[in-house]
Amino acid sequence: MKADNLLNSNFVRWMAADEGPESDIVISSRIRLARNLNLIPFPQILDRESGKKSLQTIEEAWSKSTTPDLKEMELLTFDRLTALERKMLVEKHLISPGHAESDESFRGVLTNQDGSLVIMINEEDHLRIQCFLPGLQLEECYRQAQQIDDDLEQHLNFAFDERRGYLTSCPTNVGTGMRASVMLHLPAIAISGQINQIFHNIAQLGMTVRGIYGEGTEVIGNFFQLSNQVTLGQTEEDIINNLTGITKRIIEQERLLRERLREDMKYQLEDRVGRAYGILSSARVMNSNEAMALLSDVRLGVDLGILAKITAFALNELVVAIRPAHLQKKVGKEMDAFHRDIERAEVIKERLAATREH
């Protein structure tokens, strides 16, 4: 499968829930390493000439790679992609919304076949090396991302200060340049009304909570992205261990509250899940926020064994398939919000019917 085929498939590696530990609650793990080239302006002030030089320098280093994972990657520059295709990469969580706004030829991504290893080129930093895996696998994500980083650093002169560490566009990334994050599904904590208190406590521990698509995006469907807030003065191991420890405490709390819901509100819970499934199976019009909220309830029902014959993988895939760019790609034309809502309802019904048939 070529990298371009990522645009023609709803599948990316982080969706494979059966491969990841704690995947009933932790949808995916990500490690991102921010790196910049020495003596080349940072991406916010790149002009066409310096941008071309930046991309050329990165391409030359990539061509010299000896790491199999890096050698197998393919380059997609944004002048080759339509605005819709760039948005599809955002909806798959492979690039940031800000990165997708540009169609400059010196911006783009290096990606492997299943989207588990992606390097954003000339986004906020010259390189943002990312590894995405299903479930709670931060250490393995770091191992894979670090291997790519080590290879590239043999051929690139990164902006680095002996006291401060790696230099980045955003001061909060200076130091290790590493952002570790997990995507969590926390319906029981949300239903219990404890979500704000828990996230307040998390903030005191140097972590931040964002929406499903990262910084500046809203929280929908009880999906949250938890990540470290500071990289300076901490080692990569510190960051991973802190985030893993906090994530495990959240997992314990979510599981405790799920069991409490099952014991104390059995009929209300089954009714909530059944109603969500019924609406998704029969609605003719469905906006994105409503769909995500109902899919969250269905996923809770799947995880608790209330609903059978639906897999977490199918739901992960569906979350991407119902996003605006993917819907428009499917029908082959631009649609206004209302017609996307009609198509979204059809896609959901088709996918749920397919799961029943199998």
Distance CA 196, CA 199 (A): 5
Residue 217: per-residue pLDDT: 57
Angle, to 10 degrees, between the axis of helix 266-282 and the axis of helix 288-303? Answer: 130
328, amino acid identity: Q
pLDDT of residue 7: 76
Q: Note the pLDDT tens digit of each residue in 27-77.
A: 999 999 999 999 999 999 999 999 999 999 999 999 999 899 999 999 999
DSSP string, 34-71: EE-BTTS--GGG--HHHHHHHHHHHHHHHHT---HHHH
Q: What is the DSSP letter of 17?
A: G
Predicted pLDDT at 1: 43
Q: What is the predicted pLDDT for the residue at 216?
A: 53
Query: Cα-atom radius of gyration of the chain, to the nearest Å?
Result: 21
pLDDT tens-place string over residues 286-340: 999 999 999 999 999 999 999 988 999 999 999 999 999 999 999 999 999 999 9
Residues 6+ apart with CB under 8 A from 279: 294
Q: Is the pTM of this model over 0.85?
A: yes
Identify the pLDDT of residue 4: 59
**Nearest Cα to Cα of residue 61 among 152, 144, 160:** 152
How confident is the model at residue 218, as a pLDDT?
67
| 244 three-class SS | helix
CA atoms within 13 A on the CB side of 147: 14
CA dihedral angle for residue 53, residue 163, residue 182, residue 119, rounded to 10 degrees: 10
Tell me where in the chain the CATH 3.30.590.10 domain(s) lie.
3-256
pLDDT of residue 223: 93
| CA distance linking residue 181 with residue 221, whole number of Å | 18
Tens digit of pLDDT per residue, the chain (358 long)?
455 567 777 789 999 988 899 999 999 999 999 999 999 999 999 999 999 999 999 999 999 998 999 999 999 999 999 999 999 999 999 999 999 999 999 999 999 999 999 999 999 999 999 999 999 999 999 999 999 999 999 999 999 999 999 999 988 889 999 999 999 999 999 999 998 898 888 888 888 888 776 555 567 889 999 999 877 788 999 999 999 999 999 999 999 999 999 999 999 999 999 999 999 999 999 999 999 999 999 999 999 999 988 999 999 999 999 999 999 999 999 999 999 999 999 999 999 998 765 5
Strands (E), the chain: 26-35, 74-77, 108-111, 117-121, 127-134, 160-161, 165-166, 178-185, 207-210, 223-228
Q: Which two tokens stand for residue 133?
A: 């895996």
Residue 301's H or E segment, with its range, is helix 288-303
pLDDT at 34: 97
Sequence-distant (6+) residues with CB within 8 A of 321 are: 10, 327, 330, 347, 351
Looking at 3.30.590.10, 3.40.50.300, 3.60.21.10, 1.10.600.10, the CATH number of the domain 3-256 comes to 3.30.590.10
Q: Is the Cβ–Cβ distance between 106 and 52 less than 8 Å?
A: yes
Report yes or no: 112 and 73 within 8 Å, Cβ to Cβ.
Answer: yes
